Amino acid sequence: MLNISTEMLQRHGRLFEAGQAIFAEGERGDEMYLIHEGKVRIHRRMGGRETTLAVLPPGECFGEMALIDDGPRSASATALTRTQLVVIARSTFETLVSTNSSIFLGLLRKLSERLRRANRQIQVLLMRNDTARVAATLLLLTGEGNPGHEGIVLDRKATMETLEFMTGVSEKEIERVFDTLQNAAIARMAKREIVVLSSQGLEHFVDYLERRDRLGA
């Protein structure tokens, strides 16, 4: 949404170490954040347990909702790795939005995209089957991959970490799911990357698992 300049980093940059809290659910929010380097986990308490809603990479923004609706933080944010953020105060945010229509429209698009993703993630979290949750979350993550000659390419380490956080499924079980996906020629796992060979095939596989999950099979 915003290009992060050297000046912005010098004036508004803030460094967080891995595991350090950025803000907590329920707090009042007077700042939003842009990720320059590192990764941020967005999480909240749901059904009595801690649930990961998203793992955000560099270039993403977060925390803007508290500035828009003046309500408390709807989730917590924690640095997953050593992370450098650009911190934008409420007054700066309001000035940017009121004087720059492209930033305002970009923010609306980002919020709309995030709402669709959140609705989909809620559906995933409600799935009782581990395979369904892993496959559905992988489908969500294909939007962050890069096109390759075989299909959509994702970094293995980052993707596995995100799948574990967002589904609550162990690495060993996730690898078993990928064995199933590879046998079906849908996705394969290599040493450093994960390749989604057929996005359509993955979507059909998720649809099948969702229908089976609803029927209690």
Top-level class of domain 6-121: mainly beta
Q: Which residue has the higher pLDDT, 53 or 141?
A: 141
Q: What value does the mean pLDDT take over residues 89-99?
A: 80
pLDDT tens-place string over residues 3-51: 566 777 788 899 999 999 999 999 988 898 999 999 998 888 876 777 7
CA distance 121 to 125: 6
Q: Which CATH number fits domain 128-215: 3.40.50.720, 2.60.120.10, 3.30.9.10, 3.40.30.10?
A: 2.60.120.10
Domain ranges of the chain: 6-121, 128-215
pLDDT of residue 130: 87
Average of per-residue pLDDT across 59-80: 86
Secondary structure of the chain in HEC code, one letter for each residue: CCCCCHHHHHHHEEEECCCCEEECCCCECCEEEEEEECCEEEEEEECCEEEEEEEECCCCEECCHHHHHCCECCCEEEECCCEEEEEEEHHHHHHHHHHCHHHHHHHHHHHHHHHHHHHHHHHHHCCCCHHHHHHHHHHHHHHHCEECCCCEEEEHHHHHHHHHHHHCCCHHHHHHHHHHHHHCCCEEECCCEEEECCHHHHHHHHHHHHHHHHCCC
pLDDT digits (tens, 9 = 90+) for 109-167: 776 676 666 666 666 666 678 888 899 889 888 887 889 999 999 999 889 988 988 88
pLDDT exceeds 60 at position 2:
no
Please indicate whether the domains covering 6-121 and 128-215 agree at the CATH topology level.
yes
State yes or no: pLDDT of 216 exceeds 70.
Answer: no
Percentage of residues of the chain with pLDDT beyond 90? 35
Q: Please give the Cα distance from 175 to 29 (Å, whole number).
A: 39
* Confidence category of residue 185, pLDDT binned at 50, 70, 90: very high
The Cα 29–Cα 111 span in angstroms is 17
